[in-house]
Amino acid sequence: MNTISELFVQGDAGWMSILTIELAAIFFAAWKAPAWVKELGAIAFLTAVFSTCYGLWQMFSEVLKIGELSITLWCSGFKCVLVPFMYGLLIFIISLVIRIVQKPRI
């Protein structure tokens, strides 16, 4: 089982930092501007999708340089690429839950 810090590094610290800042913005918006929570969650999810596409592009560029790779290297590459995607999806789910909790009751 990986620790949070290991996942942070595996998912590329730059992208994971951006996603963490977006998560902090969601919590701040929940306090000051509740109408923005869902939109900030969507931005975090789109950031995660972009980081995944960029990571796949980098991975395929390296594969083209090297040539043949074992299935173990392919799987480890996909695992690292999917970490920011899962984190962004989790942030989006958190934003939806916050939005549901804060929605006015009728």
Tell me the residue range of the domain where 56 lies: 4-102
Residue 69 is predicted with a pLDDT of: 83
CB neighbours (10 Å) of residue 65? 7
The pTM of the full predicted model, rounded to 2 decimals, is 0.89
Number of domains forming the structure of the chain: 1
Helices (H), 4-36: 4-10, 13-32
Euclidean distance between CA atoms 52 and 70, whole angstroms = 21
- How far is the CA of 48 from the CAs of 18, 55, 72, in angstroms? 9, 10, 24
For 39-70, write each residue's pLDDT tens digit.
999 999 999 999 999 999 999 998 899 888 88
User: pLDDT tier at 106 (50, 70, 90 boundaries)?
Assistant: low
